Structure formats: C-alpha cells, structure tokens
Amino acid sequence: MLVSIITPVHNAYDHIEETIDSVLAQTFSDWELILVDDKSSDDGLEILKKYENKDSRIKLLKNPHNQGAAITRNKGIELAKGRYIAFLDSDDLWKPTKLEKQLEFIKKNEYAFTYTAYEKLKGNKIVGIQEVGEKVSHNELLKTCSIGCLTVMYDTHLLGKMYMPIISRRQDFALWLKILKEIPFAYGLNEPLSIYRLRQDSISGNKLKAAKYQWRVYREFENLNFFEAGYYFIHYSFFGVLKTYFHKRKK
C-alpha cells in the first residue's frame, strides 16, 4: 500500500459520494481510503458502508461520539498503512491524475512534504485557482498559509507519522507548521489537481472566525509572544485582503 488517504466525515450526505468517486477515478490505484465517521446524524453512514463493501481499498472507522476534525483525522493516520499520507475532506474533490502526478513530483525530487495548486468551486462553477509557489518555509507559512489540506502529501519514511495537534480549529495549518520545524521546506507543484468546495458555513468562509483561530495558533500552538504574533498576524491579514481583492477582480 503506497498512499493512505484520510477523510473525516461528519454529516456530509450531500457531497460524500462525489468525493469518494473522485478517489475511485484516480489513474494511480495503489491507495487505501480511510473514512472516519465522526458520529454523523444524517444518512451519510449508509453511503460509507456501501462504498466499503464495494471496494476493499476503502476502510470505514466510526467514532463512538463526535470528537472533532483533529482527533478524527488522527485516528485515520494511526490506522494508515501507506508510505505516503494524503488528506481529502468529505466535500472536496480530486482530479483523476492527482495521485499519479504528485507521486511523480515527490519521487523525482525525493521530497518529504508536498502540496499543489487547487481550484475553488462555488455551487457548480469554478470561481478561481489557488496557485502555489515553488516552496515554503516555516517563517513564510506563518505569514500566509499557501497549503491546502486537500493537496498535501507527506512521506512517513522520511518524517514518521505526523499527527494533527488537538486544537479546535486550524489544526491542519498547525500540523504544516509542526512539520516545517523538522524540515526546511514544503514543496509546491503549481498545477491544480484538486477542487476545494467553498461553503458559506465553513470556518474558512467566515473571515472573523478564521482570524480568531489564526491568532490562537500563533499564541497557543506556536507560543509566539504578543509582538511576534502581531507581526505575523499583520502579514496574514494583508495577504487575506489581497486574496479577497483579486478574487473580486476576477468575477
């Protein structure tokens, strides 16, 4: 088993079939998909069971009670058997060549931690592309997070299994920072191989809440003092305004 894909699921009935189908459509086939249901209250669990019975590469784990995204993803990571860990949330999508092209990028360059560009989907329309730079360091990532969770792949042979910090929000961002304390750079493949679904109720869709949790990562997880946190928060806010401005210009 080469790639383990971690998908936390909570009340994702509307989109989970499309998400799983995008994994089944991959041109690279040596993967396992670990679906961790975080005590959903909709009919999504029946869909997950259907797919588990359909394909032996799909494994279903059920939380006894709602435990949140960090613990749920970590249970998937703990169960993972693949050399490479990848993440795909329950409403996002992968393009068919995502695994094939990213693995080629990793193996050719012997990278430990990689990410790619991705498209942004609103309703049924692609409304933008999040491009990425060649590489990013810990200090650069503190200023603005250019790494989309649905695009990440890391090598457990080089890093070991790296788990999400147990914080209520922005745990993926905190994990990228954690990894970048171990290695100099994460490397970006500037080709949109994933599709991120924009939702009004998502934490990233609420700018005020996103800013609040960004600050908490600086102070509580990175242990930055008030002035250091303020320095990076100013950069975060500036880049956030730029992204919003250019997104509106493209409409």
Per-residue pLDDT for 154 more than 70? yes
Encode pLDDT of 84-115 as tens digits: 999 999 999 999 999 999 999 999 999 999 99
Quick one: angle between helices 44-54 and 16-24, nearest 10? 20
User: Which is nearest to 95 in space by CA: 27, 32, 178?
Assistant: 27
Token reading at 249:
């210009």
Per-residue pLDDT for 250 more than 80? no
Per-residue pLDDT for 201 more than 70? no
pLDDT band at 137 (very low <50, low <70, confident <90, very high): very high
Per-residue pLDDT for 219 more than 80? yes
pLDDT band at 134 (very low <50, low <70, confident <90, very high): very high
Backbone φ, ψ for residue 126 (5° rounding): -75, 120
Regarding beta strands 153-155 and 125-130, do their DSSP bridges make them parallel or antiparallel, or are they unpaired? unpaired
User: Which is nearest to 109 in space by CA: 172, 177, 185?
Assistant: 185
Encode pLDDT of 170-188 as tens digits: 999 999 999 999 999 999 9
User: Which is nearest to 63 in space by CA: 9, 13, 4, 16?
Assistant: 9
**What DSSP string describes 145-185?**
----GGG-EEEHHHH--------SS-HHHHHHHHHTTTSS-
Spatial contact of 35 and 62, defined as CB atoms under 8 Å apart = no
Spatial contact of 217 and 224, defined as CB atoms under 8 Å apart = no
| More confident call, 251 vs 227 | 227
Indicate the number of domains in the chain: 1
Q: Could you list the residue range(s) of the whole structural domain that residue 176 is in?
A: 3-250
Q: Report the pLDDT value the prediction gives residue 209, as an integer from 0 to 100.
A: 82
Least confident residue range of 55-59, 154-158, 176-180, 206-210: 206-210
CATH of the domain at 63: 3.90.550.10
